[in-house]
């Protein structure tokens, strides 16, 4: 699930639009019956990482990859007065992980979309669309 979602943000054309697309797809995926089981990384982090060093390393590596992808996309945008690209990338990484937890707990698509709409308010460029809030 993760590699195709991250591919655009890790590419040379990555931007804030790529981040918005990532979260639209993530909400759609997590709202499906299969997606409700959440991400293997999220599940492993919550259930195994504390007791298994190898799992903890893999989970940390995934989080760092996600943060790097967000940072890369954000560095291509004009810098405003808000947080640094890295700080915003950490916020987005926490949002992505939290959505997996919310989905596993049974959150509705609307609830996931609302969390994303608020979470993306700091992104440069146009605000989240109505479609992202659904």
Please spell the DSSP secondary structure of 94-125, one letter per residue: HHHHHHHHHHHTT--HHHHHHHHHHHTTTSSS
Rg (CA), the chain: 14
Judge whether 112 and 30 are in contact, CB under 8 Å: yes
Overall number of domains in the chain: 1
Q: What is the pLDDT of residue 132?
A: 45
Residue where the block lists tokens 């790097």: 68
Judge whether 45 and 59 are in contact, CB under 8 Å: yes
Judge whether 99 and 5 are in contact, CB under 8 Å: no
pLDDT tier, 129 (very low <50, low <70, confident <90, very high otherwise)? very low
Q: What is the pLDDT of residue 126?
A: 65
Q: pLDDT higher for 5 or 83?
A: 83
- The model carries a pTM of 0.81
Segments forming the whole domain that contains residue 58: 2-133
Instruction: Say if residue 131's pLDDT is above 60.
Output: no
Judge whether 124 and 16 are in contact, CB under 8 Å: yes
Instruction: Say if residue 61's pLDDT is above 50.
Output: yes
Q: pLDDT higher for 21 or 6?
A: 21
Q: Name the strand (E) or helix (H) holding 68.
A: helix 53-75
Section 81-100 average pLDDT:
92
CATH number of the domain at 47, please. 1.10.357.10
Residue range 11-24, pLDDT digits in tens:
889 999 999 999 99
Give the span between the Cα atoms of 79 and 121, in whole angstroms: 15
Section 76-93 average pLDDT:
90
């Amino acid at each position: 699930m993760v590699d195709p979602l991250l591919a655009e943000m890790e590419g040379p054309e990555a931007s804030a639009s790529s981040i918005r697309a990532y979260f639209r797809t993530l909400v759609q995926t997590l709202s499906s019956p299969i997606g409700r089981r959440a991400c293997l990384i999220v599940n492993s982090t919550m259930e195994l990482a504390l007791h298994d060093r190898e799992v903890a390393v893999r989970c940390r590596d995934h989080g760092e990859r996600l943060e790097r992808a967000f940072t890369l996309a954000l560095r291509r945008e004009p810098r405003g007065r808000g947080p640094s690209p890295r700080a915003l990338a950490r916020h987005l990484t926490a949002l992505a992980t939290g959505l997996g937890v919310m989905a596993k707990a049974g959150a509705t698509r609307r609830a996931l979309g609302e969390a994303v709409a608020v979470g993306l308010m700091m992104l440069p460029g146009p605000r989240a669309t109505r479609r992202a809030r659904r």
